[in-house]
Amino acid sequence: MIRVRFAPSPTGFVHVGGLRTALYNYLFAKRNNGRFILRIEDTDRSRFIEGATNNIIKVLNWAGLIPDEGPEQGGGFGPYFQSQRTQLYRQFAEQLLRAGYAYYAFDTPEEIDKLRQTASERNLQPKYDSSTRMSMRNSLSLSDDQVRHNLETGIPHVIRLLIPENRTFTVHDLIRGQVTFHSSQVDDQVLIKSDGFPTYHLANVVDDHLMEISHVIRGEEWLSSVPKHLYLYECLGWNPPEMAHLPLIFNPDGTKMSKRDIQSLSALPTGKVDPDVQSYINAGYEKDAIVNHIALLGWNPGDDRELFSLQELVDHFSLERVNKAAAIFDIPKLNHINQQHLSRKSASVLAREVLTELSARGITAQTQEYLEQVVKLMQPRLYLRNQFFEASHYFFLDPETYDADVVKKRWTENSAKYLLEFVEEIAKLELFDKNSLETALQVVASRNTVNAGQVIHPVRLAATGVGAGPGLYELLELLGKERVINRLKKAAQVIPLLQKP
């Protein structure tokens, strides 16, 4: 049984890279009829942020990555909060202690600092390991009596893993192949902190084993700590899970994505990008597009296809096709993918979504049918759902201004005359549809022996106030006879005044 987990710590917002890790775990699980587990790694009290867990769950739900087991849905391997499993970690730490694989250490933070300082002064790597551990205060260097006394009098202490000398640890990473580490490079990692909570290293090994995780799929930043984990599995007598370390995702300038210095998506500092998934949700990106885009940051299906729904990703995903190299989060590409998903969306669904923005602005559409028609016309012209009103306001409100550049470019001294003639023609129309509108406009143009464009552009400007948008006849038809006539008449009066210097 394939069992994978997404194991974030509730320390703030959901990172784009975190979402992708969750996605790959989800895809791998679903592709292999396995289970996707959410586990909250809340063992660091000092960084705990209230509400962060709910936020993680909310974003996962939004993206459609619903866990099979986790805080919300439970499961037979709970609890799914590490903070509720401290007894377990303690128990295994003591087992390691008894077997001589771990030891107590009583050093104060100041003493550790000093160790680090003297090491770097001598240009050595500051490490708590075989080269230094005997000069520190721990159950290896102290007498049994002293150790017992320290423990009984409640002197703060941690439990450290005793890393053996001259050993080698090799992981067969599913993405990177064989990676080997020497034990001289790994220090005696703290397993249980002085506050009684475990560190990540102990907790993730214990939980992954107890939760029967078959594959650990996580970010590359964890690769370096794999030897510690491997050794823990060994000491505990357990088989390690399969491992896959994913490439990282960076800013366009190659730096780590950071929330610092980022005010909004519309005003990103050059070379930077917002790491907060919520920002993209708020900006109105399609969830399928976000999922699609991050899926492609490090994975590809092996052919030229690049538009996928979540289900299609499930159908095609494999770890073998995950890349080794880090990727850059590119907003223009995201926008393109978003536009593709947007244009494939059904108009009725989009109309419903767009309605919230309209209501927020106090705009009402005359009917649901009308809104859907507008959406249909606007769909290929949008790359972001939230641009809808900005691009289509004239379907809901009469124009109050006329784009100065368009006036300058398209309005001539005869325009008002054409407008009024066109009004006259369409006033006679019984059927106000695009065909008859086109015919009417042709009549005006040929009567004045000018190109249709000479009439079309002023009419568009008059009816919408802007120079861009859907085809004129479709637009007019949708607007409706009365509204069009009123707007044209008004424009014929107002625009010439604007022209005067």
Please list every residue from 89 through 108 that binds RNA, using CB under 7 A. Answer: 107-108
Tell me the residue type at 363: I
Q: Which stretch binds RNA (CB under 7 A): 62-70, 95-103, 222-230, 280-288?
A: 222-230
- Select from 195, 169, 193, 300 the least CA-distant residue to 247: 300
* Alpha-carbon span 325 to 73, nearest angstrom: 35
Q: Which positions from 115 through 154 interact with RNA, judged by CB under 7 A? A: 116, 123, 125-128
Q: Which stretch binds RNA (CB under 7 A): 85-93, 234-242, 418-426, 451-459?
A: 451-459
**Minimum CB distance to RNA, residue 383 (Å):** 7
Q: Which is nearer to RNA, 55 or 194 (CB)?
A: 194
500 annotated active-site: no
The tokens for 117 are 């300082």
Q: Which positions from 338 through 357 interact with RNA, judged by CB under 7 A? A: 339-340, 343
Q: Is 332 helix (H, G, I), strand (E, B) or coil?
A: helix
Q: Which positions from 357 through 396 interact with RNA, judged by CB under 7 A? A: 380-381
Q: Which stretch binds RNA (CB under 7 A): 60-68, 93-101, 205-213, 246-254?
A: 246-254
Q: Which positions from 270 through 329 interact with RNA, judged by CB under 7 A? A: 296-298, 300, 302, 304, 306, 320-321, 323-328
* Alpha-carbon span 334 to 286, nearest angstrom: 10
* Partner residues linked to 4 by β-bridges: 36, 215
* Alpha-carbon span 366 to 355, nearest angstrom: 12
Contact 314, 30 (CB under 8 A): yes
Catalytic residue of the set 114, 259, 408, 409: 259
Measure CA 338 to chain center: 13
First-residue to last-residue Cα distance in the chain: 78
Tell me: does residue 158 bind RNA (CB under 7 A): yes
Q: Which is nearer to RNA, 271 or 364 (CB)?
A: 271
C-alpha atoms less than 13 angstroms from C-alpha of 496 in its C-beta half-sphere: 12
Torsion sign, CA atoms 24, 12, 256, 281: positive
Tell me: does residue 24 bind RNA (CB under 7 A): no
DSSP helix, strand, coil percent of the chain (3-state; round to 5): 50, 10, 35
Tell me: does residue 254 bind RNA (CB under 7 A): yes
Q: Which is nearer to RNA, 434 or 481 (CB)?
A: 434
Q: Given candidates 90, 167, 193, 483, which one binds RNA under the rule CB under 7 A?
A: 193
C-alpha atoms less than 13 angstroms from C-alpha of 141 in its C-beta half-sphere: 13
Tell me: does residue 222 bind RNA (CB under 7 A): yes
Q: Determine the length of the chain.
A: 501
Tell me: does residue 114 bind RNA (CB under 7 A): no
Q: Which stretch binds RNA (CB under 7 A): 85-93, 308-316, 454-462, 493-501?
A: 454-462
Q: Which is nearer to RNA, 255 or 311 (CB)?
A: 255
Contact 290, 265 (CB under 8 A): no
Tell me: does residue 194 bind RNA (CB under 7 A): yes
Q: Which stretch binds RNA (CB under 7 A): 40-48, 83-91, 95-103, 419-427?
A: 40-48
Tell me: does residue 8 bind RNA (CB under 7 A): yes
Tell me: does residue 177 bind RNA (CB under 7 A): yes
**Minimum CB distance to RNA, residue 270 (Å):** 12
* Partner residues linked to 216 by β-bridges: 243
The tokens for 364 are 């009402």
Which residues are annotated as catalytic? 259
